Amino acid sequence: MATESGSTVSGTPVPGSARPGAARASGESVLALKRRARRINRELAEQYPYAHAELDFRSPFELVIATVLSAQTTDVLVNQITPLLFARYPDARQMAEADPAELEAIIKPTGFFRAKARNLLALCTRLVDEYDGEVPGRLADLVTLPGVGRKTANVVLGNAFGIPGITVDTHFGRLARRLGWTESDDPVRIESDVAALFEPKDWTMLSHRVVFHGRRVCHSRKPACGACAVANWCPSYGMGETDPEKAKKLLKYELAPGQEALLARLLAETHRAAEIRMESQRKQP
Ligand code: SF4
């Protein structure tokens, strides 16, 4: 199987091996693949006990709006504008009646603001007309809403309704391929390949952990393999920097060099992680 690095891997995994890169993907039995995938999930759970949705929200309405806004931009940026947005339009009824120019001005920093404003107005109008202003809690309904695809629907179901869902964004897709959980580029196929490896109860948290790992360690261009907690079980080990000292310098956010105090706070106060993360992001230039 060709990995993203273009290398070919074969053989069977060696769970628990101390030698990074010993795990292989191709030729692996389904049972071995499941065991390896679940081992990776456990390691990620230890590394990121504070993982959660990175978008801030207090209701299904706020989460669906924030997720629509997060297209083509960062969650950090969306979190900076949503307090003002939801203070101005606290529910679907009020947002459906928003003055488009005013709505556009508030969401402008997130980019593609004209299209996003149109989507938000259409989305809120549908919510008011067909769902009494509430966000529906079913995938089949959610994906019919303007601006809401399968990814957004799964984010909303998993995080606002507690219904298990796998959220395939660019980070998740990249890591699922690198970890040998799928060979596909198609989000729906990736979702079903990964879903087959885990219990539904693990889907939502797995999605957060994998995305956290993609943002902090397993970067698109320069993965920090030498500082990666799941290197022992990753068939793509070696596609990035393997020197531990050099790899550490590639880590981001709370894992970045110099952020030890922030990491310690997140670990000590996992229940307050979202608050601490927001504070630290506000301080960043
Ligand atoms: S950083 Fe390297 S070892 Fe870790 S998951 Fe990514 S490709 Fe695999």
Q: Ligand 1 pocket check: which of 36, 237, 249 to mutate, most ligand atoms within 8 Å of Cβ?
A: 237
Length of the chain counted residue by residue: 285
Q: What is the model's pLDDT at position 103?
A: 98
Buried b (16+ CB within 10 A) or exposed e, 182-203: bebeebeebbebbbebbeeebb
CATH 1.10.1670.10 domain residues, the chain: 30-51+166-283
* Ligand 1 atom closest to the CA of 231, numbered from 1: 3
**According to CATH, what is the number of the domain 30-51+166-283?**
1.10.1670.10
CATH 1.10.340.30 domain residues, the chain: 60-160
pTM: 0.83
Give 63 or 22, the one with higher predicted confidence. Answer: 63
Asked if 151 is an active-site residue, the reply is yes
pLDDT band at 271 (very low <50, low <70, confident <90, very high): confident
Q: What is the model's pLDDT at position 115?
A: 95
Q: Fill in the DSSP letter of residue 2.
A: B
Q: What is the model's pLDDT at position 26?
A: 62
Q: Is the per-residue pLDDT at 36 higher than 60?
A: yes
Strand partners, 2: 8
**According to CATH, what is the number of the domain 60-160?**
1.10.340.30
Q: Which two tokens stand for residue 23?
A: 């795990």
Q: What is the model's pLDDT at position 263?
A: 95
User: Once rounded to an integer, what is the mean pLDDT over residues 52-78?
Assistant: 92
Asked if 108 is an active-site residue, the reply is no
Q: Which two tokens stand for residue 119?
A: 């989507």
3-state secondary structure of 206: helix
Rounded to whole angstroms, how far apart are CA atoms 94 and 97?
A: 5
* Ligand 1 atom closest to the CA of 239, numbered from 1: 7
Report residue 2: phi and psi, to 5°.
Answer: -80, 130
Q: Is the per-residue pLDDT at 17 higher than 50?
A: no
Within 6 A (CB) of ligand 1 lie 178, 217-218, 223-225, 228, 230-231, 234, 236-237, 239-240
Ligand 1 centre distance from Cα of residue 135 (Å)? 37
* Ligand 1 atom closest to the CA of 5, numbered from 1: 7
Give 81 or 8, the one with higher predicted confidence. Answer: 81
Q: What is the model's pLDDT at position 282?
A: 61
Residue 268 CB contacts under 8 Å (≥ 6 apart), including other chains: none
Rounded to whole angstroms, how far apart are CA atoms 128 and 106?
A: 22
